[in-house]
Amino acid sequence: MRYTIRDYMNFYQKVYQLTKKIPQGKVATYGQIAAIISTPRAARVVGYALAALPQDIPWQRVINSQGMISIENLNCPKKLQADLLRLEGVEIISRDGNYFVDLKKYLWQPHKP
């Protein structure tokens, strides 16, 4: 199946709408977001969407499935994401130059309809 620009734009909008729902003080994983919007194998594309996001999206609340801040963006370094999460009350563990969040404590569990 070939995807069009419109398909990607629709996917990105779904990512943004869902990311806005993550409450302050909680995190979600790239894979979790992909699964919730019915594209469970698109975790990497969720990352691409967040790299291109508008200003009003709480991008800092999305981390990898290991609980690690894995952003690779010179404009928004890992430390910035860690600092923003700390401001929201999320405890950050720093280890070997990486930042981790305890998913058992901070993972967002959205209610299913």
Per-residue pLDDT for the chain (113 aa), expressed as one digit of tens each? 666 777 667 889 999 999 999 999 999 999 999 999 988 889 999 998 998 887 789 999 999 999 999 887 767 889 999 999 999 999 999 999 899 999 999 999 987 54
Beta strands at 28-29 and 62-63: parallel, antiparallel or unpaired: parallel
pTM of the entire structure? 0.88
**Alpha helix ranges (H) inside the chain:** 5-21, 30-36, 43-51, 78-87, 103-106
The Cβ-side half-sphere exposure at 74, using a 13 Å CA radius, reads: 0
Two structure tokens written together for 20:
């806005």
- Domains annotated on the chain, with CATH: 5-106 (1.10.10.10)
